[in-house]
Structure 1
Amino acid sequence: MSVSFQKMAEQALEHRIGFDNNKEEIQLLAKQMELLNQYGMNKVSEVLLQNAQGSKRKVSDFIAEHNFAADLISYNPEGIYQYEPPEYNRPPDFVLPRDNKTFYLQMKRLNMDSFDNRRYKILQNIREQLSLVPIGKFISIYFAENFGSQDVVPLIDLIKLVVQKSDNIVEYSYPNELEPKAIFFFSAPNNKILTHLKLASTSDMNFRDITGDAEEQIRSSLDKAIGAFTWNNDVQHINLIVMESDLYDDIDISQSVFGEEIYIMGRTGSLLNRLRDINGVFNQNQYRNKLCGVIALRRTNPDAYICGYKKTLFINPNFEGYLYDINKEIEINYVIRATDYP
């Protein structure tokens, strides 16, 4: 393996929170970089490296692109692959020219909703603060919905106050036991030596109503991605949106693209019929003839940055005849149609 790819991989991953200099993942990324370079796709690696020094959330988008590019090549090593070719006004992420047709793949990574985005930033701050507490223990924290960024400093102050004398069985409440915004407890590492407090796990203290949030987030991502296609889908131009979707279920994507599920119940409570609303994006004018389908990517190893994907294709009812052509170029593990109810 080239030393340059090894160095690039180290630079791309060294700032990842919780990465802990995992040599195995660095090796995997370096191998992917070498593979992409062999197919003239080194630009994917360069873009990843350029963004690795920026937002720690944003770089995950480019890691997803890198994983997917390697996945495409591994599935069809005989193909030709282009990344953001300059001849387009708004280049699609991946262009796959074939003998009598071209595949256009626009990549999106379904990020968190606004609530989860705020929580993510809070957790990043907490992790950084805990790393400054030189006591080798794990801490697990349950958060109430009203825990905000203004609570981080007083929570850390309380943790520092009790950690020295803590019993690993005792739960502590912040700011009080009557109306806690956070509950936490400590645990000792079994075989691992820690140099500071380390966040072991987090969870929501209460149920949060997220009805409709997921579908709205998915539709918003699709609206942004569809602009890459200024041509309609046809036998010579196959347009697909590809989304890393680990945080979302099939039903969330299904209701977004096909329409929300409607249940018609009888007087006795029995199910008489199951229908779809017409509010799915495949029913909208800007999608009906332009988008062949949406591919949901889910990591084969949820705990790894560098890994392959299982792929679920949500096929536009107008283009179900394209399934064979798509599967020749992209390994599709599952197909979901409008008549399916995941």
Structure 2
Amino acid sequence: MSSLPAGWYKDPAEPDTQRYWDGEGWLGKAIPADAVPPDGPPPVEEEPPPAPEPTATPAGPAATPAPQSPQSPPPGWGPQPPPPPGWQPPPGWHQPPAGQQPPPGWQPPAGQQPPPGWQPPAGQQPPPGWQPPPGWQPPPGMFPPMQARPHGFALAGLGPRLVARLIDIGAVLLLNVVINGWFAYQWAREFVPMYRATLDEMANGGSAWDVQASGRMDGLLWAMLIIATLLWLAYEAPSIGSSGQTLGKRIMRIKVVAVEDTKPLGFGRAFGRWARLGLWTPAWGCAGIGFVLQLIDCVSPIFDQQLRQAFHDKTARTVVIALPPDDRQPVDATTGGNGSTGQN
């Protein structure tokens, strides 16, 4: 149904004339464009009587007009001007000849194929069944970006990855309380006198930088940082190398897999992935430089829209996937597994 109301409009086929549009088609004969049209539709014209059938002519050598080529257009045919604003093709409209382009913004009616060479405007989806011409490139923003699914699984979200990392930090912290507790106690015994001496120096008008830490404090600090690094390595690398999951990743149902297959990473590859992040831990004693570098690595998946890889994932060529709720696990195709736990 057309959205153009009934009334007198310029004929798109003959701009020098105007005709009456009843909402579905043109009625009556055309009148000059500058003439004042009557109110309402034109009067109904009586149909002319049928023409008499031509009498058969005797066969003879009389010349007959040569038939026109079916490929040539009729006399006077040419490109037509665009229709008035809001005009929609009436029912029964057929496609224009090959090579003739529709007006800008035109959309084919439902169930009708667009003419050859037609391209959908930017930001609009093509009609069903439309095939692009050779060499055609879609305009930017026409098709939404496809989300990668490594080995058929969705990528792990940034939220679950953050929660899993916080759980792992808490687990490593508990290990440090047990293993590093004695070193932390000895360091505190050295720190309390130095702190009191600093307060006394500042009360007497001195500077806090005049009080220097003892060499034993520095040794205890480096020992705690090295032990913390080794505890983190022992906690994460073996579990990622064998199953792709630490305690936090198991709770959040995410898993580390290789980009090329789903085989276990092995300790060597898991160590390389951890080292890109964990070996900066001793540098915490250098004005917190190690902490800053580790923080940048942890937020780096935000800037990778394709695979959400952190810097340590790019180093090891790994990706973090989200496991579905049906306990289905990634299984390498070469093993013949079906990808479900508890099944042969």
| Larger-gyration structure (1/2) | 2
TM-score (normalizing by structure 2): 0.25
More strand by share: 1
TM-score (normalizing by structure 1): 0.25
Q: Whose relative contact order is higher, 1 or 2, with alpha carbons under 8 Å and at least 6 apart?
A: 1
